[in-house]
Amino acid sequence: MDLVKFENALKIGETAAIEFKRAGGTIEMDTFETVCSFSNRFGGDIYLGVLDNGTVVGIPENAAPSMVKNFISAIGNPDLFSPTLYLEPEIFKYRKKTLIHIHVPSSGEVHSFKKRIYDRMDEADVKVSATAKIAQMYIRKQEIYTERRMYPYVKLKDLRLDLLPMVRILAKNNGGGSHLWEKLSNMDLLKSAGLYAEDHATGKNGFNLAAVMLLGRDEVIRDVSPAYQTDALVRKVNVDRYDDRLTVVTNLVESFEQLFKFATLHLPDKFYVEGAERKSLRNIVAREMLVNTLMHREYSSAYQAKFVIEQDRMYVENANRARFNGPITLRNLEPFPKNPLIAKFFRNIGYSEKLGSGARKMFKYGRLYSGVDPEFIEDDVFRIIQPLNENYSFDAEIANGIGGQKTTQKTTQKTTQKILAAMEDNPNVTISELSEICGITVDGVKWQLRNLTKTGRIARIGGDRGGYWEVCGK
């Protein structure tokens, strides 16, 4: 057992991948629920003999071997687990106390415990009964692309062929003045893009889901994907409802155009020059966010995608076939096409560039736009959160010779001071309470807490339940 890893787990507390169980001399049923949820999500580590707050109490030393034996027997029992599991718990010592460590890897299948399916949400094991949620779990486990699903009864008349002249022009311009699609017939263009193909599992030819989503008529899209839509909202004044709204339910080519127009209408276009060229930071950031939410969405899900502009941030969120759970950074960025056919089509017409370049551009230009890095969060619901600050201007700060510090950090410093003061007054203060104290959103507080933790200003002692904040420095 890696004791350094265990001590780090105690410091971090319970998370989506760490669970503590008291487990006196027996293994309780909730331990098996956690095993099931870890298997169904991204895996994790269970430590028996530890309280929820990270206090090590241990288990009876003479009971440990029988606990391990009973555990292995239970997870291999088809009446309890379906399909069954094989795990190897490890008995170890820590400060003269006996504990058991169970590492649960992510499974390639969806498991049930006592005929109930569990999923891991933050630090909780959640019973899943909704059909859409269960379907999403199976999608996550399968290395398949739902965009390739064949619709043999979709014909050319069901597609917006009137969009193809524009598609050819976009592809030509993106290709530097020439492109293969210029000279192809409509049908050959669709075949070249992989939108009409043969299903080698059935031997049938036809248009796939990617073709319908990219170029389908609205009524055909509605029939194939009834829940599909993107809800664009502005919430600056009326935060409970909205100041402006656009519901987009058309093909992806025109969806991008409509959403991009909505973004340019409601976002400031700040002056910025790179070298000798003026660049629109607004257009770059909005473009990458919108292309991402259209290109990598899981279109078989009923989850409604959103594009929301608020006073201090804007974000997109959409259904996703997640590969892990947590933030995406430049360090752990591993480009993976969720919909390779749609992504290839977007690259051909210039809506996107090579895989992974969008995230890198967002990190670069997102900070230049607002002074703060954007957030990418990988989960069943994928999110990109771009902070907004209308008072920030990278170009103005350079011109004023203040090195991009004072204007950028003015509001942030005030909020930081409020958070630190609140934690000193009450180490048990909650995120919701901090949101009210600072007058910012809960997500804004979470962003502040991550930055303060990274810089060593604060530390979380224990887990979310029973833990507290410690101010480390000012």
Residues 379, 427, single domain; the answer is: no
The CATH number for 442's domain is: 1.10.10.10
Count of residues for the chain?
474
C-beta separation of 54 from 462 below 8 A: yes
153: its two tokens: 């009864």
How far apart are the C-alpha atoms of 119 and 379, rounded to whole Å? 12
175: its two tokens: 């290709």
Residues 243, 388, single domain; the answer is: yes
CA-nearest of 9, 18, 40 to 126 is: 40
Residues 158, 252, single domain; the answer is: no
Residues 267, 330, single domain; the answer is: yes
How far apart are the C-alpha atoms of 288 and 262, rounded to whole Å? 14
The CATH number for 274's domain is: 3.30.565.60
Residues 261, 358, single domain; the answer is: yes
How far apart are the C-alpha atoms of 375 and 385, rounded to whole Å? 5
How far apart are the C-alpha atoms of 365 and 359, rounded to whole Å? 10
Question: The whole model's pTM is what?
Answer: 0.63
How far apart are the C-alpha atoms of 225 and 206, rounded to whole Å? 17
In a domain, 137, yes or no: no
H or E stretch at 409: helix 406-425
How far apart are the C-alpha atoms of 222 and 214, rounded to whole Å? 13
Query: Which among 100, 129, 158 is the end of a domain?
Result: 129
Q: Which domain holds residue 214?
A: 146-224
How far apart are the C-alpha atoms of 455 and 130, rounded to whole Å? 41
3-state secondary structure of 446: helix
The pLDDT score that the predictor gives to residue 25 is 84
40: its two tokens: 């169904």
Residues 245, 201, single domain; the answer is: no
How far apart are the C-alpha atoms of 273 and 270, rounded to whole Å? 10
For tokens 């597609």, what's the residue? 159
In a domain, 138, yes or no: no
**What DSSP string runs through 42-90?**
T-EEEEETB-TTS-B----GGGHHHHHHHHHHHHT-TTTEES------E
In a domain, 135, yes or no: no
C-beta separation of 464 from 17 below 8 A: no
C-beta separation of 281 from 369 below 8 A: yes
H or E stretch at 287: helix 281-295
293: its two tokens: 């939410």
Residues 119, 200, single domain; the answer is: no
Q: How many domains does the chain have?
A: 4
H or E stretch at 375: strand 375-378
What are the two backbone dihedrals, phi and then psi, of residue 372, each rounded to the nearest 5 degrees? -135, 145
The pLDDT score that the predictor gives to residue 411 is 63
Positions of E strands within 22-105: 44-48, 81-82, 90-94, 97-104
Where the chain has pLDDT below 70, the residues are: 142-144, 200-201, 335, 354-356, 395-411, 473-474
Model confidence pLDDT, tens digit, residues 312-364 = 999 999 998 877 778 888 777 776 778 889 998 998 999 987 666 778 889 89
In a domain, 134, yes or no: no
Query: Which among 74, 102, 129 is the end of a domain?
Result: 129
* Angle at the Cα of 437 from the Cα atoms of 433 and 438, rounded to 5 degrees: 115
C-beta separation of 186 from 166 below 8 A: no
198: its two tokens: 């043969």
Model confidence pLDDT, tens digit, residues 223-267 = 999 989 999 999 999 989 999 999 999 999 999 999 999 999 999
Residues 102, 41, single domain; the answer is: yes
How far apart are the C-alpha atoms of 431 and 460, rounded to whole Å? 12
What are the two backbone dihedrals, phi and then psi, of residue 202, each rounded to the nearest 5 degrees? -115, -20
For tokens 């210029």, what's the residue? 182
In a domain, 372, yes or no: yes
Residues 280, 392, single domain; the answer is: yes
Cis check for the bond before 83: say yes or no (omega within 30 of 0).
Answer: yes
The pLDDT score that the predictor gives to residue 402 is 45
The CATH number for 10's domain is: 3.30.950.30
Residues 70, 214, single domain; the answer is: no
In a domain, 78, yes or no: yes
In a domain, 217, yes or no: yes
How far apart are the C-alpha atoms of 89 and 69, rounded to whole Å? 9
* DSSP tag of 350: T
For helices 431-438 and 442-454, the axis angle rounded to 10 degrees is 100
Query: Which among 161, 189, 224 is the end of a domain?
Result: 224
The pLDDT score that the predictor gives to residue 462 is 78
How far apart are the C-alpha atoms of 56 and 50, rounded to whole Å? 5
How far apart are the C-alpha atoms of 363 and 271, rounded to whole Å? 18
Residue 223 CB neighbour total at 10 angstroms: 14
**What DSSP string runs through 130-199?**
-HHHHHHHHHHHS---GGG-EETT--GGGB-GGGHHHHHHHHHHHTTS--GGGGS-HHHHHHHTTSEEEE
How far apart are the C-alpha atoms of 310 and 315, rounded to whole Å? 8
Residues 243, 391, single domain; the answer is: yes
In a domain, 152, yes or no: yes
The pLDDT score that the predictor gives to residue 400 is 52
Question: Dihedral sign, CA of 173, 175, 178, 182?
Answer: negative
The pLDDT score that the predictor gives to residue 409 is 54
174: its two tokens: 């993106």
474: its two tokens: 């000012």
Residues 265, 301, single domain; the answer is: yes
